[in-house]
């Protein structure tokens, strides 16, 4: 019997346990309001996997090498961040003053700032420098409860640098406890050397796919479909050719203008359509009728201060699956804090706590083809687990501006634990 087996670790005295174990597939529409909450729960880990889930009382008869008293804390799957630009050189803090003065983005570009600033810094950085920087940011993501991360290239816009970014992401995945899912975003912008020749640039980026496939450097291909970048038609043809090569595809769609990128994403079977702030009613309806997941990035809307956020409620009402992400990048969302994104989802996207938790776990996992291994706790699945310093699951989306994680486990091993204040501080 299970109760007679010896486990590596038992976590008991759990106040609330969220497993996200609702069956197969992402949660869509009204399903996103469902949340299985077990109180006074316990779970056991063996060989890096969840081996048993039950009650605190049942756990008392189980044997384990290590026991962790959750002290009534909330316990959930590790969070999944399905849209980040993790690997890049430099930073862009000096642009803040210009933005506050009302200097237009195009003028910032002329002054050597904007995305081309990051492209230049990334091209100049060595592989080791990029790896060190990306590891720093990834460690910070873990401290906020994230255990699986998507990482895009897109700050090279040329063959050597795009491949360099992807190699760094692959090295991180191989050497770091977190799981990294790589996306090729060579079609992120049009570099100055290809000004007026965007079709030629896209052909050059497509030529990289053979090298990417050979080196197993990326699973997804993405493109920035937006006014002044790549058209819907260009994006469709680019992603179709990537699919023919065997890649899964994503799309930066309708971030600013309702060009029809959302509809196109659903037509070609994109795993996800991301941003979608300007998605049309037709596009939103199409999301509800297909399996394409809407990955929403409220941190970008917040940081750019445009006053408009994606219509999450309309998408869920239409029956769509919604996921949330930081969009961590140096220009429009310089934050590794997925918990803050959960706050914004509550305040600006009007999502309920139940919808938010599903959007940062199981739905986010499916948005990067990891629905079978991340975002859910069930026997036989990876023991990617977060213990939260909160009394219930409503609390994290409610209390903003602080880090609520207490302990983060990856494959059953603790990779982050909150440091306690020195005793003399509380003594005062």
Binding-site residues for 4-imidazolone-5-propanoate sit at 92, 155, 188, 255, 332
Positions at the binding site: 83, 85, 92, 155, 188, 252, 255, 327, 329, 331-332
Pick out the residues of the known binding site for N-formimidoyl-L-glutamate.
155, 329, 331
What are 214-219's contacts with CB under 8 Å, separation 24+?
Answer: 215/163, 215/166, 215/167, 215/170, 216/170, 217/163, 217/166, 217/167, 217/169, 217/170, 217/182, 217/184, 218/153, 218/166, 218/182, 218/183, 218/184, 218/247, 219/181, 219/182, 219/183, 219/247, 219/248, 219/369
Binding-site annotation, residues for Fe(3+): 83, 85, 252, 327
Q: Which residues participate in the annotated binding site for Zn(2+)?
A: 83, 85, 252, 327
DSSP bridge partners of 387:
75, 407
The pair of structure tokens assigned to 63 is 């044997």
d(C-alpha 41, C-alpha 56), whole Å? 5
Give CA–CA dist 66/370, Å, rounded. 29
* b (16+ CB within 10 A) / e for 304-321: beeeebbbbeebbebbbb
């Amino acid at each position: 019997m299970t109760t007679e087996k010896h486990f590596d670790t038992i976590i008991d005295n759990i106040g609330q346990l969220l497993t996200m174990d609702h069956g197969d597939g992402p949660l869509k529409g009204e399903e996103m309001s469902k949340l299985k909450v077990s109180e006074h729960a316990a779970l056991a880990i063996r060989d890096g996997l969840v081996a048993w889930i039950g009650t605190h009382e049942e756990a008392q008869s189980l044997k384990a090498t290590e026991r962790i008293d959750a002290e009534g804390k909330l316990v959930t799957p590790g969070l999944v961040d399905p849209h980040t630009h993790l690997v890049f050189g430099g930073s862009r803090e000096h642009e803040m003053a210009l933005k506050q003065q009302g200097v237009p983005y195009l003028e910032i570009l002329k002054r050597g700032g904007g995305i081309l600033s990051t492209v230049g810094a990334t091209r100049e950085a060595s592989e080791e420098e990029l790896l060190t920087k990306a590891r720093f940011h990834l460690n910070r993501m873990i401290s906020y409860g994230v255990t699986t991360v998507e990482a895009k290239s897109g700050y090279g816009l040329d063959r050597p640098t795009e491949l360099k970014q992807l190699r760094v992401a692959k090295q991180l995945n191989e050497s770091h406890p977190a799981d990294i899912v790589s996306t090729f975003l060579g079609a992120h912008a049009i570099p100055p050397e290809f000004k007026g020749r965007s079709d030629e640039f896209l052909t050059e980026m497509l030529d990289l796919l053979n090298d990417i496939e050979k080196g197993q450097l990326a699973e997804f291909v993405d493109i920035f479909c937006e006014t002044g970048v790549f058209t819907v038609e260009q994006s469709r043809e680019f992603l179709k050719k990537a699919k023919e090569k065997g890649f899964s595809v994503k799309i930066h769609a309708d971030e600013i203008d309702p060009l029809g990128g959302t509809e196109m994403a659903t037509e070609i079977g994109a795993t996800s359509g991301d941003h979608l702030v300007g998605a049309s009613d037709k596009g939103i309806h199409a999301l509800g009728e297909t399996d394409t997941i809407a990955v929403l990035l409220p941190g970008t809307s917040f940081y750019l201060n445009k006053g408009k956020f994606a219509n999450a409620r309309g998408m869920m009402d239409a029956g769509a699956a919604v996921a949330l992400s930081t969009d961590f990048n140096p220009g429009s969302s310089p934050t590794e804090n997925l918990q803050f994104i959960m706050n914004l989802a509550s305040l600006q996207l009007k999502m309920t706590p139940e919808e938010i938790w599903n959007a940062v776990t199981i739905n986010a996992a499916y948005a990067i083809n990891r629905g079978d291994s991340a975002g859910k706790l069930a026997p036989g699945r990876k023991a990617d687990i977060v213990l939260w310093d909160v009394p219930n699951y409503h609390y994290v989306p409610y209390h903003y501006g602080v880090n609520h994680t207490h302990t983060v486990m990856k494959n059953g091993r603790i990779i982050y634990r909150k440091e306690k204040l020195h005793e003399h501080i509380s003594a005062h």
